[in-house]
């Protein structure tokens, strides 16, 4: 039997696998602090730190790495953007964005091309939707995507010193952009995320701390979850057919993904004092790695638990459910090119890097036809 709490010497972390213990940790921030939630997993070298310092880079404790009344007050400000009504109202937008991308995918498949569904379908839709939700305009989405991936690699990967410098330069550019948005909001607070945080009384570095990973995780982890869904569907014609016949089956697919292959399989905490967890004595300052997936059949831990539960949980579920439904309807005759594609495999983030598909062999050889789809006539919303 696997020990529910064990020390991983290679990672320098205490791994907590039992779901009940994970809930207990999340529910007790007085003993198990979120202070290390945004700490770089790999110690950054001097050169990388100098690059960040030159940009004034700082992530003071405000939201994900804070507890108590201050955390709750800022969380309420951010939560206003993620209300059920606001999220549900975006479903037609998601479907329009998906329809345009699937039309392009099917045209390429019909020409006999292989298509990467991560790049063609999963990549930018969550970013466009998040920007719409947060009322942010004039954003270079490809640049935001690059910043987001580099930040995940810098904070949750194992980059070499040379890679750290490249990633730090990207993080510095991203942070500079955030500071510019925060400064602009202070001069003229609008209705967007930055304006709301400024009106709440946050200093510029605190605004940047909230926005830094909110704008990363708010779309990148959903892209990753959708990528995992597309990998499952591309390799499983039975599931595609079941969802195509009954769209409500998509919810079961999402639940299975969240329980077994969530894009955020782990999260971190640190002990404030010496304590006992699951019969194991932990020293003060012990870094914990909480297992959120492979722990239950429901996926209820995939978005965290308690006071720090992910504010974007409903949004991520909705976008992934719609992605599953649209994919099942759009690709009944495809086959996976790579059943085991290369993976993004960071400390707390995991997803396929690509999902390559092509038309089935019998279709390619003329023994079937590609059903025609009605092209989308709806304009995509501006980011």
Q: How far apart are CA 334 and CA 359, in angstroms?
A: 4
Alpha-carbon torsion angle 235, 238, 244, 246, nearest 10: -140
Q: What pLDDT does 339 receive?
A: 85
Rounded to an integer, what distance in angstroms lies between the CA atom of residue 358 and that of residue 120?
Answer: 13
Mean pLDDT within 195-217? 96
pLDDT(170) > 90: yes
Q: Is the pLDDT of residue 301 over 80?
A: yes
Can you tell me the mean pLDDT for 116-140? 97
The pLDDT of residue 376 is 40
Segment 275-301 shows an average pLDDT of 88
- Determine the pLDDT at residue 299: 75
| 315-331: pLDDT as tens digits | 999 999 999 999 999 98
- Give pLDDT, residue 355: 98
Q: Is the pLDDT of residue 93 over 90?
A: yes
Question: Lowest mean pLDDT: which of 1-15, 36-50, 110-124?
Answer: 1-15
Average pLDDT over residues 110-122: 96
Residue 223 has pLDDT above 90, yes or no: yes
Is pLDDT of 368 > 80?
A: no
Of 11 and 121, more confident: 121
Confidence of residue 383 (pLDDT cuts 50, 70, 90): very low
Give backbone dihedrals phi and psi of 190, rounded to 5 degrees, phi first: -100, -160
What per-residue confidence (pLDDT) applies to 319? 98
pLDDT at 270: 97
Hey, what are 277's tokens? Answer: 């967890």
| pLDDT category of residue 124 using cuts at 50, 70 and 90 | very high
Cα 331 from Cα 325, distance rounded (Å): 10
What is the rounded average pLDDT of the residues 23-39?
A: 94
Residue 379 has pLDDT above 70, yes or no: no
Q: Is the dihedral of CA 167, 173, 176, 180 positive or negative?
A: negative
Confidence band of 55 (pLDDT split at 50, 70, 90): very high
Does 199 have pLDDT greater than 90?
Answer: yes
Q: Which residues contact residue 222 at a Cβ distance below 8 angstroms, ignoring those fewer than 6 apart?
A: 126, 130, 263, 312, 315, 316, 319, 320
How open is the CA angle 72-76-82, to the nearest 5 degrees? 135
How confident is the model over 234-275, as pLDDT tens digits?
A: 999 999 999 999 999 999 999 999 999 899 999 999 999 999
- Range list of H helices, 55-133: 68-79, 84-89, 91-110, 117, 125-133
Rounded Cα distance, 216 and 148, in Å: 5
Distances (CA, A) of 78 to 129, 196, 285: 16, 8, 29
Tokens of 133: 């939700």
Band (381; pLDDT cuts 50, 70, 90):
very low
Identify the pLDDT of residue 54: 97
């Amino acid at each position: 039997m696997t020990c529910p709490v064990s020390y991983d010497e290679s990672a320098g972390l205490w791994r907590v696998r039992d779901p009940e213990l994970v809930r207990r940790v999340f529910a007790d921030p007085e003993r198990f602090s979120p202070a290390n939630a945004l700490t770089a997993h790999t110690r950054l070298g001097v050169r990388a730190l100098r690059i960040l310092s030159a940009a004034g880079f700082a992530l003071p404790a405000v939201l994900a790495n804070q507890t108590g009344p201050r955390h709750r007050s800022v969380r309420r400000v951010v939560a206003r953007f993620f209300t059920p009504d606001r999220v549900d109202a975006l479903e037609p937008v998601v479907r329009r964005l998906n329809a345009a991308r699937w039309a392009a995918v099917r045209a390429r498949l019909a020409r006999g091309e292989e298509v990467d569904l991560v790049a063609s379908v999963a990549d930018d839709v969550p970013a466009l939707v998040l920007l719409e939700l947060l009322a942010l305009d004039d954003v270079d989405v490809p640049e935001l995507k690059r910043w987001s991936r580099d930040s995940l690699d810098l904070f949750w990967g194992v980059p070499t010193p040379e890679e750290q410098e490249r990633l730090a330069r990207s993080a510095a550019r991203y942070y500079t952009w955030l500071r510019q948005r925060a400064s602009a909001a202070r001069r003229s607070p609008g209705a967007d995320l930055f304006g709301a945080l400024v009106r709440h009384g946050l200093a510029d570095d605190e605004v940047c701390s909230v926005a830094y990973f909110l704008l990363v995780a708010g779309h990148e982890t959903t892209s990753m979850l959708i990528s995992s869904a597309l990998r499952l569907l591309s390799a499983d014609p039975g599931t595609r057919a079941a969802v195509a016949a009954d769209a409500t089956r998509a919810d079961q697919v999402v639940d299975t993904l969240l329980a077994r292959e969530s894009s955020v399989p782990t999260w971190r905490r640190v002990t404030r004092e010496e304590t006992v967890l699951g019969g194991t004595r932990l020293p003060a300052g012990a870094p914990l790695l909480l297992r959120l997936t492979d722990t239950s059949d429901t996926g209820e831990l995939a978005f965290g638990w308690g006071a720090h539960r992910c504010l974007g949980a409903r949004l991520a579920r909705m976008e992934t459910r719609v992605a599953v439904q649209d994919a099942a309807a759009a690709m009944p005759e495809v086959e996976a090119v790579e059943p085991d594609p290369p993976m993004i495999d960071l400390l707390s983030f995991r997803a396929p890097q690509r999902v390559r598909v092509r038309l089935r062999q019998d279709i390619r050889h003329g023994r079937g036809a590609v059903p025609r789809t009605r092209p989308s006539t709806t304009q995509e919303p501006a980011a």
